[in-house]
């Protein structure tokens, strides 16, 4: 696999995993906060 493509895929995976989990954790708390 070419290196740039590998990097792009890796970036997307990190965004979809680490980014999603941490944002989900923050946003999931939001209704509780509002409530």
Partner 1 sequence: MVTVKRYDPDAKQPILWRGWLLYLLSFPLLPAALFALQDGFQVIALARGVGFGLAIAAATLIRKGIRLDNEAIRRNLRRRASTVRYRAVGAGLLSLGMFLVAWLGLHTGYGLPGSVMLGLAVLLGCYLYYDFDGIGRKDPEIAAVGITTEELVELLDEAEGRIVAIENASRDIPNVEFRDRLRRIATEARAILETIERDPVDARRARKFLKVYLDGARQVTEGYARTHRGPEAPVLEDNFRRVLGTIETVIAEQQEKLRENNVLDLDVKIEVLQMQLENEGVT
| Residues near partner 1, by CB under 8 A | 6-7, 9-19, 21-26, 28-29, 32-33
Task: Count the residues in the chain.
Answer: 35
Minimum CB distance to partner 1, residue 31 (Å): 9
Minimum CB distance to partner 1, residue 17 (Å): 5
- The half-sphere exposure of 32 on its side-chain side, counting CA atoms within 13 A, is 5
Minimum CB distance to partner 1, residue 30 (Å): 8
């Amino acid at each position: 696999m070419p290196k740039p493509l590998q990097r792009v895929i890796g970036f997307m995976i990190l965004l979809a995993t680490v980014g999603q989990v941490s944002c989900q954790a923050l946003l999931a708390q939001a209704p509780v906060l509002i409530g």
